[in-house]
Amino acid sequence: MKSDLSSKLFAEAKKLIPGGVNSPVRAFRGVGGEPFFVSRANGPRLWDVDGNEYVDYVCSWGPMILGHAPVAVLKAVVDAARDGASFGIPNPREVRLAGLVREAFPSVEKVRFVSSGTEATMSALRLARGFTGRDKILKFEGCYHGHADSLLVKAGSGALTFGQPDSAGVPEALARLTLTAPFNDAEAVAAIVAANRGEIAAIIVEPIPANAGLFLPKPGFLEFLRKITAENGIVLIFDEVISGFRAAKGGAQELYGVRPDMTCLGKIIGGGLPVGAFGGRADIMDKLAPDGPVYQAGTLSGNPVAMAAGIATLETLFAQPGLYKQMDGLAANLAAGVADAARKAGVALSQNRVGSIFCNFFCDGPVSDYASAKRSDTKCYAKFFHAMLERGVYLAPSQFEVGFVSTAHTDAEIGQTVRAAVESFKVL
């Protein structure tokens, strides 16, 4: 595998950009070595500047559910850009995308668009605090909700990859308002709520945590969160930035049948362009400026080009509901093939999967929370990552991220990946 041009670019980037990257996990420090620089992508594949080709399971960390450069999205983006890139005044595409969100997420009675998942969760929390008049929030260990101050406490994703689940620069006074509990631990949640009665504004949760690897809610856990929040006047926020339009059309809330008060969205909703959204009960959303006292704004919020990409992506998904089954089938075959290869090579592997989201942990036994995710042998993951990359398969460059199958992946990519895994397990 050639890497001369990527290496040169990375050296130059490090002089100009901290760590050479604009988001830490891209620096490959979770697996060692240097990142490659992408020159182009199409369907399920990426090409780097040195001409190497990869089957892509990162899919830009989730947004590229239709694969790269899908024709419908390309056309929508070009058409929108021709009409002007940004106006700073309402445009019709905002209304169309809001309608599509409402169709998929009945709990989202009103929605506001922002430019990233971080903005969505940050704004949702401010709103929950303004609505309830309370300051404290409760989040779960290993859940990642973007990098707003209140949320970088026992956080997953890059923060966990670099062993910084609690970031420097977050005022202690603010961090103290963020309570944490282990995911799937109803007793711990009940104890915290009892000890802070009348003080918790919101419980924010990834209903399918996908930023410490992947783990699933135990039966009844989300229902329990719904009940205890309703009984205590706490706003229940589902962070569906990853699971929205992915775990099912209507996200985890459709899959598990639990209706939160508020929902945060990102990734797929922008079809690869920067879009986030938060929404929920109308009585809560009506507290937002200009109708209410909670301030929130953004020059590029509802940007017409980004809205166009989101609309084209969602319309494609909604028009062909069979796509979810197709991705699920491919991801199931991928998981089975990789599990079989690991078994034959005598490698301990614990797999979690929801539809097209998957994660392979290098350990025995089930992974159901942050503590069990941390049992994974990250050195083994790093070796596997590089062995797969050598064989033209790009997995997430961290054990504490997930993989995605898109509608553009086919049996050919899955077959190639399983063959690469057979060889890669041999060199661990």
The catalytic residue positions are: 144, 239, 267
Asked if residue 166 lies in contact with residue 154, where contact means CB atoms within 8 angstroms, the answer is yes
Which residue has tokens 């989201």?
357
Task: Count the site residues for ligand HOZ by CB under 6 A.
Answer: 8
Please identify, among the stretches 19-27, 258-266, 292-300, 354-362, the one whose residues bind ligand HOZ according to the rule CB under 6 A. 19-27
By beta carbon distance, the residue nearest ligand HOZ is: 23
Among 116, 123, 157, 243, binds ligand HOZ (CB under 6 A): 157
Please list every residue from 329 through 388 that binds ligand HOZ, using CB under 6 A.
none
Q: Minimum distance from CB of 265 to ligand HOZ (Å)? A: 15
Q: Enumerate residues 6+ apart whose C-beta is below 8 A from 219.
A: none
CB closer to ligand HOZ, 142 vs 158 = 158
Q: Would you say 158 or 244 has its CB closer to ligand HOZ? A: 158
Question: Which residue in 20, 43, 158, 165 binds ligand HOZ (CB under 6 A)?
Answer: 158
- Report the 10 Å Cβ neighbour count for 129: 19
Q: Does 278 bind ligand HOZ (CB under 6 A)?
A: no
Closest to 201 measured CA to CA, from 217, 182, 178: 178
Binding test (CB under 6 A) with ligand HOZ, winner from 9, 13, 25, 311? 25
Residue type present at position 135: D
- Measured CA angle at 146 (ends 251, 25), to 5 deg: 105
- CA-based angle 269:415:413, to the nearest 5? 35
Task: Name which of 28 and 278 has its Cβ closer to ligand HOZ.
Answer: 28
List the beta bridge partners of residue 394.
56
For the four alpha carbons of 334, 338, 339 and 341, in that order, the dihedral sign comes to positive
Quote the strand ranges of 240-330, DSSP E.
262-265, 276-280
Cα(152)–Cα(401) distance, integer angstroms: 16
| C-beta of 23 vs 164, nearer to ligand HOZ | 23
| Window 203 to 262, contacts with ligand HOZ (CB under 6 A) | 211
Q: Which residues pair with 263 in a beta bridge?
A: 238, 279
Q: Compare residues 107 and 116 and give the one whose CB is closer to ligand HOZ.
A: 116
The smaller minimum CB distance to ligand HOZ, of residues 27 and 201, is found at 27
Q: How far is the CB of 103 from ligand HOZ (least distance, A)?
A: 26
Q: Work out how close the CB of 346 gets to ligand HOZ at its nearest, in angstroms, rounded to a whole number.
A: 31
Distances (CA, A) of 94 to 99, 143, 283, 316: 9, 29, 21, 17
State the Rg of the chain over Cα.
21
Query: Taking the complex as a whole, how short is the minimal distance between the CB of residue 365 and ligand HOZ, in angstroms?
Result: 24
61 counts as binding ligand HOZ under rule CB under 6 A: yes
Judge contact between 127 and 284, C-beta under 8 A. Answer: yes
Which listed residue (17, 19, 23, 90) binds ligand HOZ by CB under 6 A? 23
Q: For residue 287, state whether it binds ligand HOZ (rule: CB under 6 A).
A: no
Stretch that binds ligand HOZ, among 21-29, 47-55, 290-298, 403-411 (CB under 6 A): 21-29
Could you say whether residue 401 binds ligand HOZ (CB under 6 A)? yes
* Closer CB to ligand HOZ, 94 or 206, in the complex: 206
- Sequence-distant (6+) residues with CB within 8 A of 269 are 97, 101, 244, 245, 275, 276, 277, 310, 313, 314
Q: Which of 26, 96, 218, 227 binds ligand HOZ (CB under 6 A)?
A: 26
Strand partners, 151: none
Judged by the rule CB under 6 A, the positions of this chain that interact with ligand HOZ are: 23, 25-26, 61, 157-158, 211, 401
